[in-house]
Amino acid sequence: MAKQDMQTDAAFTRNAMKAELLDAETERNLALAWRDERCERSLHRLINAYMRLAISMASKYRRYGAPMADLIQEAGVGLLKAAEKFDPDRGVRFSTYASWWIKASIQDYVMRDWSMVRTGSTSSQKALFFNLRRVRSKIERERGPATDGRMAHEIRVEIAEEVGVPLRDVEMMEARLSGSDFSLNATQATEDGREWIEALEDQEPLGAETVARTSDLSAAREWIVDAFDALTDRERMIIRRRKLADEPDTLESLGSELGLSKERVRQLEAQALRKMRARLETRHGEGPAMLAGAI
């Protein structure tokens, strides 16, 4: 199957290399026909003519370990995006414009394919991913490899200046590129032979914490219901609509509904909270009374 795939890729590449070469006028006419008339035949001809460019750019990223067929496919995606956004009235050749989209599409794919953990998506992280080793090699040829921590730090500073990124991004990318993915089901080098996944901390609350929280919430609910008994029907409505609703009403909207001014609604709200606090202090103590202030 692999041999058949390689033969298919080779045939596709040969056909792409035989495609016509477009002059500037023909290219512009095709781009205009696609942009203004959505002529798919013009789009197909434009894409075919520049597929050799996409294949050539894709071949430069084979060293990252991705299958050539996938790289070509991603290059084709970038070429289609370029055709969709290209404006022939700007006086720029399509190949110049498309190169950026092809490169961006391939680089995004390489970074996604390189690791299960997303390596980075910012422009500085992309620049580091594709240039870190090259820039490091250049610096080490000029000054020699790092022999201690201080020299290693100085080399990182030079890399940051050369690529134009923050030093912390260089340190982060070095750490990511120095290791590789491994399964959480891999066995640890310990006597009990536990898997790495067993060493992950459980982020869920402990059983005792859950029971305590449930008990506290239940008590707080009972205290609030009890405090509500001290209020009039209008005060209960104001507190519910102003303090307990997911989207609280404004003083103005409540005032319009009740035929009161905003200031009067505010006074009734404050009065209701004082009543609730007094009820809670009398029956349950100072601690529960703080609920009235928190509502």
Domain-embedded: residue 194 = no
Tell me the average confidence (pLDDT) per consecutive run of 10 residues in the chain, 295 residues long. Answer: 55 76 94 95 94 92 87 94 94 93 91 62 74 85 81 87 86 71 57 60 56 66 81 89 85 90 91 85 65 54
Tell me the whole-structure pTM to 2 decimals: 0.50
- Given this model, what pLDDT does residue 129 score? 79
- Given this model, what pLDDT does residue 267 score? 92
- Given this model, what pLDDT does residue 229 score? 84
- Given this model, what pLDDT does residue 1 score? 43
* 22 and 64 inside one domain: yes
- Full domain range(s) for residue 146: 123-178
3-state secondary structure 161-214: HHHCCCHHHHHHHHHHHHCCCCCCCCECCCCCCCEHHHHCCCCCCCHHHHHHHH
Query: Looking at the 3D structure of the chain, how many domains does it have?
Result: 3
What is the maximum span of the chain, computed from C-alpha positions, in angstroms?
A: 92
Domain-embedded: residue 251 = yes
Domain-embedded: residue 198 = no
* 94 and 162 inside one domain: no
* 136 and 110 inside one domain: no
- Given this model, what pLDDT does residue 40 score? 94
Buried b (16+ CB within 10 A) or exposed e, 252-268: eebbeeeebeeeebbeb
CATH of the domain at 98: 1.20.120.1810
